[in-house]
Structure 1
C-alpha cells in the first residue's frame, strides 16, 4: 500500500522539484514546499491507513487469492492491521530522506533503515522466546515490531534535518505551483506502482499456488537477494540521483551522460559477481535464516527461489537506476510505459508457466520483467540523448562476468573442500555461516 499510495510519486518527483525550488527562490520556499507536501501526505496516508484497517481482509485477499488450504488469512489480517500505519510512516521517511539527499547528507538516510531492522529483528527474537509460554504476547510483539521499526527510521533522521536548517510546519496549499510540477513528474510513477502492484500480486499468488509457505519462502530468499543491492547499489544510485537532477536542471548534458554511464558501469561491476555468489551459496545462505524453521522441502524451494531471483539482480539494479534517471530528466512517462509492458509480459508468463515449472520459474520471471524495462529504456535514452556509452557498458558487463566467474570458481573449490571436511550445510545455520565466511 505504501508503494501504491506514495512511494512512487515521492521517490521520483520530490527531489528534482525540491532542488529546483531551492536554486531558484531559496531555502525558505523549499521548506514551505516540503511542509505543504508532507501535510497533504499525512492526510492522504492517514485516510488510507484507516480504510486499510477496516478493510484488511479484502486487502489480504488481493495477495492470497490462490493460496492453499494451509494459509491462515485470520493471522494475516491480524498482522496487516498493525502494519497498515507504516503507509504513513514510510512516506515521512521518504520525504525526510529526500531532503537530506538533496542536501548531500547521505549518512542518516542510509543508516535509518538499519535501525529499523534492529527493532524488527528484536521483535522476532522476542517472539521466539515467548512462542511456547505466551504465544498471544509473542504475536503482539511481532506485530508491533514492524511499525515501531519504521517509526525509529523516521525519528532518527530528524536531528539531521534540524542541523541542515530544515524547518517544517503544518500547512496545506493545494494551489502551490510546485505541487503541479510534482504531479507532472510523479503521476506516471503511479502507473509504475500500479503495474508493479499487479505483478507482485500475481507473483505472490503464484508462489502460494506452488506451496502454502510460498510467501515465507519468497520473503526469506529476498532477504539475501536485496542485501547486495541495498548495500552496494543504493548508495551509488542515491548519490547519482542528486547529481543527475542537478546536471539536468543546469542543462549540463555532458556531465549528465557521464554520470549516467558511470552509474550503469558501477552497478554492473557489483551486481553481476554477487548474482553468481548468491547462486553458488544459495543453500548455505538459506540455511542461515531457515534453520529449524523450514522442512527439507521448504529449504529446497527457498534455494530454488533464491537462484531464480538472483538472475534478476543486475537487471533490477539497472532498472531502479533508470527510474531515477527518468525522474531527473522529468520524463517518467517513458519509464511508466516500459514498466507496464514488462508487467504485462511477466503476468502472462506467470499465468501460463507456474503450474508447469514451479517455484524457481516464478522467481525467474522477475528477470523477464526487468529485461523488458531495461531494453526499452536504454534504446529510448540512446535515441533521446545521443551517445550514452553503450560500448562502455558492454565492456563493464563482460569484465564483471569474468570477475564473477573467477570468484565463482574459487568458491566452488572451497565448497567442495568444506563438504569433505564438515559436510553439507542443508538446514544447519552454523554450517551455513562457515560456508559463507
Structure 2
C-alpha cells in the first residue's frame, strides 16, 4: 500500500510539472496561431518542425526509451552503479554520433523529405518548408543527447528535471514571440525552437551530477549492454514507427486540404489533444516504465501484472471522461485558446472539428502507450511490431476512404481508429500467452466508466448549449462556459462512478474529505 501511495505521489508531482509545460505549450501555440494563423508560413513551419521529430522518433526514440532503460536497469540490479554508468557513457556517445550523422544528412537533403511529408500546391510553401527543415534538423542531435540523459535519470526514479524539459523549451519560445518575432520572423522562430531543445539537455546535468554521474565517452559497439540494445532495437524500433509513420500519412493528406491548411489544423488539434491526454498518460508511463523494467529484471511477474492492471484501470477511469468532455466543448476551447488575430472563424471551425473527432481515440492512445511500455519492459518487440504495422495500414486505408468526403474529420477519425486498433492488438497476445491483465471485474468496470463518461459528455454538451444563451460573447464568456462545463462534468462523473462503487472515485472522495478537515 505504501508503494502505491509513493507511486501516486510521484505521478502527481510529475503530472503537475508536465501540466505546467503543457499549459505553456498551449500559450506557445496560441501565440503561433495569432501571429501566423493557418497561412503559408504556419503550414511550412509545422511541416519543417515535424520532419526531424519524426525521424528521431522513428530511429532513435525507441533505442532510448524502450531499449536503454531496461538494459540500464538490468545493469543497476545485477552489476552495480559503476558498470551501469560506464554502459550509459558508451550508449550516449554512440547515440550522439548516429544522430549527428542523421542531422548532417537531413540538412544536406531536405527536398526529398519535404516531398515525402507534404504535397503543397503552392511552390512558395514548399520552398519555405525546405529551407526551414534544413535550419531545424539539428533538433535530432539535441534530442538524442537530451533523451539519453533522461533515460539515466528515469531509470533511477528521478523525474523532476525530465518533466521540466517541456516547460523550459516552451519558455524560450514564448519569450521569442513576445520580444523578437516582429524583427526576426519565422526563421528566428526556428532558431528559438533549436535553442529550446538544446537547453532540454543542459537542464539534466545538475541532477545527474548529484547522482554521481559523470559522462565518460565510450565507443564499444560490442559491449554486452550495447549488443543487447541493438538486439532489442530492431523489432522495437519498427514497432515504434507507428506514430511517426501515421504523422507522415496524416501530414501528406492534410497538405491537400484547404490549400495546405489541413496540416496546421491537425497540428493545432493534435497539440491540444496531447495536452489533455498526454499530460496524464505520459506522466504515468514515464514513472511506471522503469518500475516495470525492474520487476522484469527481478523476475517478479505477479507484481508486474498487478502493476499493469492497476495502471490500465486508473488510466481508463480518468481518460474516458476527458475524451467525452473534450468532444463536447471542442469548439469553444479552440476558439478561446487559438481564436483571434490571424486565426479566424474558419480556422476555429476546422480545428475544432478535427479535435472533436480525434478525441474518440483517447482511450486507445492511453492503452497503446501503457501496453507498449509493458512489452518493452519485458524486452519483447514482436507484439508491438505486428500491432503497429496493422494499425498503420488501418490509418492509411481510412485516410484514403474518408478524407475525400469528410475532409479534416476523416483524418481525425482515421487517427482515432488507428490508435484504438493498435491498443486492442496489443492486448490479444498478452491474453493468449497468459500474461494479460483482463478479468471479469476490469471489463465490468470499463463499461461502468464508459456509461459514466457518456453521461459526462452529455452533461457538458447540454450545459454548453444553455450557457451560450446566457453568457456574454467573447473570451470571457468562453472561459466561463468552459469552466462551468468542466466543473459540471467532473461533478457528474465522480457522482455517478461513486454510486457505482468505483475504487478511484472512493479514493478521490476520501482525499477531498481529508483536505476539507485540514482546512
**TM-score in terms of structure 1 length:** 0.92
Query: Judging changes above 3 Å, is the alpha-carbon distance between structure 1 residues 145 and 387 closer, same or farther for their aligned structure 2 residues?
Result: closer
Secondary structure, in 3 states, of the residue corresponding to 1:330?
coil
Residue 195 of structure 1, CA deviation: 4.5
Match of 1:45 among 75, 94, 99: 99
1:7 paired residue number: 61
- The 5 A counterparts of 1:44-83 are 44-65=98-119, 67-69=120-122, 72-83=125-136
Distance 1:392 1:122, change over 3 A: farther
Q: 2:381 aligns with which of 332, 350, 375?
A: 332
1:297-308 equivalence runs, <5 A? 297-308=346-357
Match of 1:365 in 2: 414
Pick which of 49-58 and 316-325 moved more: 49-58
Change (3 A) 1:339 1:264: same
Give TM-score scaled by structure 2 length.
0.78
List aligned pairs for 1:278-289, cutoff 5 A.
Answer: 278-287=326-335, 288-289=337-338
- 2:450 aligned with 1:401: yes
| Cα contact 1:63–1:205 (8 A) shared by 2 | yes
Contact conserved, 2:372 with 2:426, CA < 8 A, in 1?
Answer: no
Residues in 2 aligned to 1:90 and 1:373: alpha-carbon distance in whole angstroms: 26
Q: Does 1:178 pair with 2:262?
A: no
1:17-416 aligned within 5 A: 17-65=71-119, 67-69=120-122, 72-126=125-179, 130=182, 134=183, 137-211=184-258, 212-287=260-335, 288-386=337-435, 388-416=437-465
Whole-angstrom CA distance in 2 between matches of 1:46 and 1:117: 24
Tell me how far 1:253 sits from its aligned partner.
1.2
Q: Is the 8 A contact 1:312 1:366 kept in 2?
A: yes
The CA distance in 2 between the partners of 1:95 and 1:347, in whole Å, is: 32
Q: How many residues align?
A: 427
Note the residue ranges of structure 1 that are not aligned, 5 or more in a row.
none
Give the Å deviation of 1:220: 1.0
Instruction: Give the structure 1 partner of residue 23 of structure 2.
Output: none
CA deviation vs aligned residue, 1:295-349 (integer Å, no higher than 9, x gap): 3222211111101111111101110111100101111111111101111121122
- Provide the C-alpha distance between the structure 2 equivalents of 1:272 and 1:195, rounded to a whole number of angstroms: 23
Deviation at 1:387, TM superposition (A): 5.4
Matched-pair contact (CA < 8 Å) for 2:254–2:263: yes
Partners of 1:105 and 1:194 lie apart in 2 by 27
User: Once the 2 structures are TM-superposed, how far is the Cα of residue 429 of structure 1 from its aligned partner?
Assistant: 4.3
Change (3 A) 1:194 1:417: closer
User: 1:196 and 1:407, CA in 2 relative to 1: closer, same or farther beyond 3 A?
Assistant: closer
In structure 2, the CA distance between the partners of 1:386 and 1:80, relative to structure 1 (3 Å rule), is closer
Distance in 2 (alpha carbons) for counterparts of 1:390 and 1:208: 44
Closer/same/farther in 2, CA of residues 403 and 126 from structure 1, 3 Å limit: farther
For residues 254-290 of structure 1, what are the alpha-carbon distances to aligned partners after superposition, in whole Å with 9 as ceiling and x for unaligned? 1010011011112111111111121111011111223
- Please say if residues 127 and 139 of structure 1, whose CA atoms lie closer than 8 Å, have aligned partners that are also in contact: no
Give, in whole Å, the separation in 2 of the partners of 1:352 and 1:284. 29
Q: Distance between the aligned counterparts of 1:59 and 1:97, measured in 2?
A: 28
Q: Distance in 2 between matches of 1:40 and 1:295?
A: 47
What is the CA–CA distance in structure 2 between the aligned matches of 1:384 and 1:167, rounded to whole Å? Answer: 42
CA distance in 1, matches of 2:351, 2:439: 36
Q: Distance in 2 between matches of 1:423 and 1:395?
A: 43
SS class of match (2:469): helix
Distance 1:277 1:119 in 2: 31
SS in 2 for 1:35: helix
Which secondary structure state, in structure 2, belongs to the residue aligned with residue 385 of structure 1?
coil
Q: Distance in 2 between matches of 1:85 and 1:434?
A: 42
For residues 436 and 75 of structure 1, the distance between their equivalents in structure 2, rounded to whole angstroms, comes to: 37
